[in-house]
Amino acid sequence: MIARIAVASAVFSMDKPFDYRIPDSLTLQPGQRVRVPFGASNRRTEGIVLAVMPDGAERPDGPAFKPVEAALDPEPLLSRAALHLAAFVRERYFCTFYDAVRAILPAGVWFQPRDRYTLAENAAWDDRWRNPAAQAVFQTLQTLGGAAEESALRAQFEAEALQRALQYLRQKKLVTCETSHRRRVNDKTERIAVLAVPAEEARRFAQSHQASAPVQAAAMELLATLGECACKELCYYAGATSATLRRLEKLELLTLREQEVLPPPPPAAAADPKPLLLTPQQQAAYDSLSARLQDASPGTALLYGVTGSGKTAVYLRLIDDCLTAGRGAIVLVPEIALTPQLLRQFSARYGARVAVLHSALRISERYETWKRIRSGDADVVLGTRSAVFAPVRDLGLLIVDEEQEHTYQSENAPRYHAREVAIYRGAQEHALTVLGSATPTVESMYRAVTGAFGLCRITERYNGRPLPPVEIVDMKRELREGNASIISEPLLLALRENLRLGQQSILYLNRRGTSRMLACVECGSVPMCPGCSLPLTYHHANGRLMCHICGHSEPMPARCPVCGGHLRQIGCGTQRVEEQLQNLLPGVGVLRMDADTVSAVNTHEKLFRRFREERIPILLGTQMVAKGLDFENVTLSAVLDADLSLYASDYRAAETTFSLIAQVAGRAGRGKLGGRAILQTMTPQNQTIRFAAEQNYDAFFEAELPLRQLRGCPPYRDLLTVTFHGREEERVWQAALAFRARLDGLLHSEFYRGETAAVLGPAPASVARINYHYRCRLTLSCVNTRRLRELLAFLVREFAKDRSFRGVGAFVDVNGRE
């Protein structure tokens, strides 16, 4: 028999199925992983069986197929449906088959390759060979009895020299290498630095090396007070790199050890399940979706319900139906940490049948959960993005809650969009896909109104309360009238009023980009990262300037490096707003919630609980306060800078802004007390902001649609971007230009006549340089057909093989954000 196999070591430019002979001792099925020899040197690599075929399909000429060496799984790890899904992800998102497989499977199933080197029989060293390093490794192997693991050799030799020596010995046919695969279920660990000398001695070291090695001195000073510290943090505060710490380890001033990172504790136990009473609108939505669920091909439906309309109750009833029919369900949420309520509801209602999947799980936990789903013990899956691949048996229902959230789009390797995968998987497995949102993406609403999706609307809030009135405050006028603060006069009045009434307020700061960068007051220059085209941001905690992308860190200069002027923070972070609030409202409690104050200890949930229980008057924060929970006592919510997200280059800018404003406004007036919202903006006449203030989604949608058509964006066209990157700016741009010429040429040929496509660029990527690598991109605005995707994949393969473009890489993104 012959097995058609996707191998792990294939890169994009050579990714295709390879055929192997199945030895008689093995029986293989599609979805099983195997170990196979690959390439001229027959190095062992992992692969996954795609199909098994009878003999006779061998190539007429050419050598015979190599044999499969071993099965790595006793039974298939991926179902046929999952293999199909992997093929979809590969084709749709321009990655290798194995990249797709890696996205689908949990980390716990992966094997770690281990190399073992064995001396050839009667191998002897020839004195004519002049390679002392290789000779030393050879002799070590002899003393070790003729064979050793690479890890054992690594203890005695420096890594790079060892590689060269082994390569040499292999070429001389003195040693052979065998790769075995061992399962790896290791959890996340972090490196801890421990002080190895008395604190006084460490301080003396710090003193005496202040001038000659300031970074080492800073690290030792810190360690002297802390005793031990996570390396990451030590580096952060001292501005050190791991090399610094290794040097200090060599000096025997500190020791390094690995420690397991404990995941956050699971959320509190379940409350009693509440009976689900549906309003007439909820009932109508449920009835229509439930009817679809019975269909042989239920397709996709959009559940559009304003904030607080009770979409969750509809989900739960649908899941009940699905389970009753003996089928499983997957519910995707943007972020688990922000949905503790939902989590509790699920475990209260479905108990042990629920499986929760998200990134904060330990690898082992994640693997156990995955197995529980696969075995059928758990048939309700609640999870983030990657849970869309959960191995649920007989899947009946896929729910994507808050489908407009960008967290559904993966940021690395297969840059898939979980919503799109859910729609495809639903169709493939005859399951109903429900997209839920209070502010649906223009794409989804378009597909709903044009009939591709079903559409259910819930226009009333669950408690029958109206959406809070929204007041727009013109910040330019505030400025003209002499108020340069980020808190406008009307907002200040509203805050004072709320304080008087003992009610709470939520302030949302739309922080992006400019928030923490510095600029010189005199010459206006902005300290930039040396390797990236990004301004450095100031970090209060360590008093250093840091680069978000590459992690570069430098001490905060006392004066402007260009002209010696004063450096000042521009833009407005939450810290600045907090200070301003303290000045305007002395003594009033403010709970700040952003990436700096939320940690493993201070979880979202804890902070939210404090806000609720301690009745802290003001909650101030970024993204996360826009979602969060329902608070009875919150009667005022405000967006401090509604404009900031409007001017991103992304085609979704207006949509995102609308959605955020609607969410923040929806935070107020959830309880009996009613409420109101305030929107501060520099552009009060802006259409998106006006519609958002009116909470008029339909008007926003109608206005946005023609703009999307004009710009050739989704839902009318897809944007396929090819990003080129490399160390030499010239070559990167030349490569992009050459690629464009080739693409243009083919698009104009007879074969592609029927395709609708416009090529734009090359243009610099939004971050034109990252870590000393330049990047630019071509954009193809097109009707996204298989034929065009194949063309693009072909061109990228051709590009990767073309030696004249060496040093320049290229990858494709589909409707990506930057």
What residue ranges bind DNA (CB under 7 A)? 9, 11, 13-14, 18-21, 36-43, 62, 65-66, 126, 128-131, 167-168, 170-171, 800, 803
**Minimum CB–partner distance for residue 569 and DNA (Å):** 42
Tokens at 95, concatenated = 């990655």
User: For DNA, which is the closer residue by CB, 171 or 259?
Assistant: 171
**Minimum CB–partner distance for residue 737 and DNA (Å):** 21
Measuring CA to CA, how many Å separate 138 from each of 117, 141, 150, 163?
A: 10, 5, 13, 13
**Minimum CB–partner distance for residue 164 and DNA (Å):** 8
What sign for the dihedral angle of Cα 731, 737, 740, 741? Answer: negative
520 annotated as ligand-binding: yes
782 annotated as ligand-binding: no
550 annotated as ligand-binding: yes
Cβ contacts of 66 within 8 Å, gap of 6 or more: 20, 21, 36, 37, 42
**Minimum CB–partner distance for residue 90 and DNA (Å):** 17
CB 818 within 8 A of CB 649: yes
Tokens at 508, concatenated = 């949302």
- Name the amino acid, one letter, at 650: D
Residue whose token pair is 């000045």: 583
**Minimum CB–partner distance for residue 63 and DNA (Å):** 7
User: For DNA, which is the closer residue by CB, 42 or 459?
Assistant: 42
User: For DNA, which is the closer residue by CB, 41 or 122?
Assistant: 41
**Minimum CB–partner distance for residue 136 and DNA (Å):** 13
- Name the amino acid, one letter, at 575: Q
User: For DNA, which is the closer residue by CB, 66 or 204?
Assistant: 66
532 annotated as ligand-binding: yes
User: For DNA, which is the closer residue by CB, 44 or 311?
Assistant: 44
User: What SS3 class is residue 76?
Assistant: coil
User: For DNA, which is the closer residue by CB, 2 or 220?
Assistant: 2
User: For DNA, which is the closer residue by CB, 16 or 512?
Assistant: 16
95 annotated as ligand-binding: no
322 annotated as ligand-binding: no
Inter-axis angle of helices 80-93 and 786-801, nearest 10 = 70
What's the rounded Cα separation, in Å, for the pair 470 and 472? Answer: 7
456 annotated as ligand-binding: no
What's the rounded Cα separation, in Å, for the pair 418 and 390? Answer: 12
Q: Where are the beta strands (DSSP E) in 358-512?
A: 380-383, 395-400, 432-437, 454-458, 470-474, 504-508
User: For DNA, which is the closer residue by CB, 476 or 801?
Assistant: 801
What's the rounded Cα separation, in Å, for the pair 785 and 717? Answer: 10
H/E run at residue 135:
helix 132-143
**Minimum CB–partner distance for residue 277 and DNA (Å):** 59
Cis peptide before 715 (omega within 30 of 0): yes
What's the rounded Cα separation, in Å, for the pair 194 and 190? Answer: 13
**Minimum CB–partner distance for residue 35 and DNA (Å):** 12
CB 599 within 8 A of CB 516: no
User: For DNA, which is the closer residue by CB, 647 or 772?
Assistant: 772
* Residue 616 buriedness (CB in 10 A; 0-12 / 13-18 / 19+): middle
Cβ contacts of 493 within 8 Å, gap of 6 or more: none
**Minimum CB–partner distance for residue 810 and DNA (Å):** 10
Q: Where are the beta strands (DSSP E) in 594-648?
A: 618-621, 634-639
- Name the amino acid, one letter, at 551: G
**Minimum CB–partner distance for residue 173 and DNA (Å):** 9
Residue whose token pair is 């770690």: 112
Tokens at 420, concatenated = 């799109």
User: For DNA, which is the closer residue by CB, 156 or 167?
Assistant: 167
What's the rounded Cα separation, in Å, for the pair 117 and 141? Answer: 8
563 annotated as ligand-binding: yes
Q: State the binding site.
A: 520, 523, 529, 532, 547, 550, 560, 563
Binding region for Zn(2+): 520, 523, 529, 532, 547, 550, 560, 563
